[in-house]
């Protein structure tokens, strides 16, 4: 794969050069406008990975706003909701029926009005697609009239608004198989051009009901982080997604914005002993070392998370204690202090001792050593895993760190520790991570095999809660209810280590708005608030 990376650097450089020449040509045409305004109205953004589709029913915009389409409700920067396409909405007494009234000034970019039947069509299509949007609990959606839609659920679901906030409404009249490549929506931007593996160009939707965005033309190019840094150093591109390891490099004319994220990294630790069992696909289950609670907790207490964030992530990160630190549905109780002595005590109390003097503890003939796998090529995961492994050696646990392919991870994740990453702006991630039903599935959520009736009870309660506050209380109890929970001082299925900041180079003079806390993703979360971006002064206009 390295070969491609290398080639990409080259191609990217060539391509950017071509692009800029092209831009130069265009300024001639648009010159008048720019000189009058004195401020540029286009940006070039380099991000790490290309979206597979722009079809919201198939996963586009999942976890962040879809920009081409608009949603019924949307997140605010502090992760509450505000109306978007919806003018008003209400929930019935039994918490099973949501009724939305649409605003009247919303139009698709082909001039058609956004109606209730489009909403119905979108939800039914997304439900049938069974993609990354889980709508299995939606009974049916019915258009009551042109502007009103009633959605009935099979069970009360408090995260329904989170789900709606990530489904862009697609037009029923202009939807076809290749909609994902030729989307029409009612969002602040429209797709102008998509060259696969190269770039996507968005142009502003002048008729957007929220007001035409300040940035008129957005070019998104795809390149690896080091290629993006090289491009920025050459003064090309306005915004570039980067990584913690590269973010310390100072580049003239740019500043680095470290955007807080829920994008976390930590170990998943198999909770069952190795009894020779396998999953349906034949992947072995269980690990004789990590199945012991005291081992998992000793690891959790041995890691100095702040040190890892400072040294490995260059300070572009914060300690992680759960999958959702800093979110309203996070329980502050999950926090633990680094305590080597406590870790050693946990091991000693359970009978783990170093009898042969090699620094690694044993019990019943089992040495406290195991292998942690990570996707080869992900330097941040490798570095975090190796730093953590170095630290837990102090309590007598040896972790071998091994880089493998994702295919191999799928086969080995039920029996080995994995340096995994999650992070979402919706609490439903907690649901998927810890529900018993999801244990040992291939979806990477619960490879450690965590199952607990207590947790299932709280998860259910959170889903059925009538208000966000009530739901948040239940989500918090999933993590720690005072005696048990998924937290590291509880059952400790995960040892969370760090939350990554999303390191981004931004050209001086460009404002990228108030970025909401980013979820897991390689640069895509960055563009979710494009309509808030603007050039502040003229310095940015100089090339």
Q: Which residues contribute to the site for another protein (CB under 8 A)?
A: 1-3, 5-6, 225-227, 229-230, 233, 245-246, 248-249, 307-308, 311-312, 376-377, 379, 382-383, 386-387, 390, 401-404
Q: How far is the CB of 378 from another protein (least distance, A)?
A: 10
Contacts of 400 (CB under 8 A, 6+ apart): 369, 370, 371, 372, 389
Considering the complex, state which of residue 369 and residue 402 has its C-beta at the smaller distance from another protein.
Answer: 402
Q: How far is the CB of 402 from another protein (least distance, A)?
A: 6
Considering the complex, state which of residue 382 and residue 504 has its C-beta at the smaller distance from another protein.
Answer: 382
Taking alpha carbons only, the member of 134, 98, 94, 100 closest to residue 114 is: 100
Considering the complex, state which of residue 159 and residue 495 has its C-beta at the smaller distance from another protein.
Answer: 495
Largest alpha-carbon pair distance within the chain?
A: 81
Q: The tokens of 366 are what?
A: 């089992």
Q: How far is the CB of 379 from another protein (least distance, A)?
A: 6
Q: The tokens of 351 are what?
A: 């009978």
Considering the complex, state which of residue 218 and residue 384 has its C-beta at the smaller distance from another protein.
Answer: 384
Query: If residue 403 lies in a helix (H) or strand (E), which one and from where to where?
Result: strand 398-404
Q: How far is the CB of 245 from another protein (least distance, A)?
A: 6
Q: How far is the CB of 523 from another protein (least distance, A)?
A: 16
Q: How far is the CB of 46 from another protein (least distance, A)?
A: 13
Q: How far is the CB of 8 from another protein (least distance, A)?
A: 12
The DSSP string of 175-210 is --GGGGTS---SSSEEEEEEETTTEEEEEE-TT-TT
Supply the DSSP symbol for 15. H
State the Cα–Cα distance between residues 323 and 487, nearest whole angstrom: 10
State the Cα–Cα distance between residues 182 and 458, nearest whole angstrom: 42
Considering the complex, state which of residue 230 and residue 397 has its C-beta at the smaller distance from another protein.
Answer: 230
State the Cα–Cα distance between residues 330 and 172, nearest whole angstrom: 38
Considering the complex, state which of residue 76 and residue 249 has its C-beta at the smaller distance from another protein.
Answer: 249
Considering the complex, state which of residue 173 and residue 248 has its C-beta at the smaller distance from another protein.
Answer: 248
State the Cα–Cα distance between residues 108 and 237, nearest whole angstrom: 30
Considering the complex, state which of residue 230 and residue 491 has its C-beta at the smaller distance from another protein.
Answer: 230
Q: Can you name the residues that pair with 89 across neighbouring β-strands?
A: 100
Give the number of other CB atoms < 10 A from CB of residue 519.
22
Q: How far is the CB of 464 from another protein (least distance, A)?
A: 45
State the Cα–Cα distance between residues 161 and 426, nearest whole angstrom: 9
Taking alpha carbons only, the member of 418, 478, 475 closest to residue 442 is: 418
State the Cα–Cα distance between residues 400 and 287, nearest whole angstrom: 14
Considering the complex, state which of residue 114 and residue 313 has its C-beta at the smaller distance from another protein.
Answer: 313
For residues 515 and 526, is the Cβ–Cβ distance under 8 A?
yes
Considering the complex, state which of residue 247 and residue 490 has its C-beta at the smaller distance from another protein.
Answer: 247
Query: If residue 373 lies in a helix (H) or strand (E), which one and from where to where?
Result: strand 369-375
Contacts of 401 (CB under 8 A, 6+ apart): 371, 372, 374, 382, 385, 386, 389, 419
């Amino acid at each position: 794969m390295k070969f491609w990376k290398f080639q990409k650097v080259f191609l990217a450089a060539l391509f950017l050069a071509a692009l800029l020449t092209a831009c130069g040509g265009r300024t001639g045409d648009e010159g008048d406008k720019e000189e009058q305004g004195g401020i540029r109205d286009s940006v070039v953004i380099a991000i790490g990975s290309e979206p597979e589709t722009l079809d919201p029913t198939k996963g586009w915009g999942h976890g962040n706003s879809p920009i081409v389409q608009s949603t019924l409700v949307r997140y605010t920067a502090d992760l509450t909701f505000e109306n978007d396409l919806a003018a008003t909405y209400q929930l019935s007494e039994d918490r099973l029926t949501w009724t939305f009234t649409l605003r009247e000034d919303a139009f698709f970019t082909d001039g058609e009005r956004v109606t209730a039947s489009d909403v119905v069509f979108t939800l039914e299509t997304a439900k049938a697609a069974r993609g990354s949007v889980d709508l299995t609990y939606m009974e049916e959606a019915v258009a009551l009239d042109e502007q009103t839609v009633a959605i009935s659920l099979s069970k009360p679901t408090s995260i329904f608004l989170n789900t709606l906030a990530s489904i862009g409404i697609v037009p029923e009249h202009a939807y076809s198989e290749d909609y994902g490549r030729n989307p029409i929506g009612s969002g602040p931007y429209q797709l102008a051009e998509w060259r696969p593996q190269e770039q996507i160009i968005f142009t502003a939707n002048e008729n957007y009901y929220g007001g035409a965005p300040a940035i008129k033309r957005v070019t998104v190019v795809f390149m690896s982080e080091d290629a993006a840094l090289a491009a920025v150093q050459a003064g090309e591109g306005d915004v570039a997604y980067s990584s913690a390891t590269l973010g310390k490099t100072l580049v003239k004319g740019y500043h680095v914005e470290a955007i807080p994220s829920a994008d976390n990294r930590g170990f998943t630790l198999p909770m069952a002993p190795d009894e020779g069992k396998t999953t349906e696909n034949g992947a072995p289950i269980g690990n004789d070392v990590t199945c012991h609670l005291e081992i998992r907790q000793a690891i959790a207490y041995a890691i100095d998370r702040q040190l890892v964030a400072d040294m490995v992530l260059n300070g572009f990160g914060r300690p992680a204690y759960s999958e959702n630190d800093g979110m309203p549905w996070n329980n502050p109780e999950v926090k633990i202090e680094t305590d080597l002595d406590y870790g050693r005590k946990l091991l000693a109390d359970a009978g783990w001792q170093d009898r042969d003097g090699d620094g690694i503890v044993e019990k019943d003939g089992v040495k406290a050593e195991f292998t942690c796998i990570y996707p080869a090529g992900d330097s941040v995961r490798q570095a975090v895993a190796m730093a953590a492994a170095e630290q837990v050696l102090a309590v007598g646990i040896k972790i071998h760190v091994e880089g493998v392919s994702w295919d191999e991870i799928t086969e080995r994740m039920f029996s080995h520790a994995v340096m995994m990453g999650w992070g979402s702006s919706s609490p439903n991630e907690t649901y998927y991570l810890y529900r018993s039903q999801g244990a040992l599935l291939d979806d990477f959520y619960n490879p450690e095999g965590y199952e607990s009736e207590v947790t299932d009870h709280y998860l259910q309660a959170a889903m059925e809660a009538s208000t966000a506050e009530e739901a948040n209380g239940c989500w918090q109890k999933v993590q720690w209810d005072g005696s048990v929970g998924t937290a590291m001082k509880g059952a400790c299925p995960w040892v969370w280590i760090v939350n990554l900041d999303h390191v981004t180079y931004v050209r001086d003079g460009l404002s990228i708005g108030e970025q909401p806390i980013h979820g897991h993703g390689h640069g895509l979360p960055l563009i979710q608030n494009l309509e808030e971006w603007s050039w502040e002064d003229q310095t940015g206009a100089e090339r």
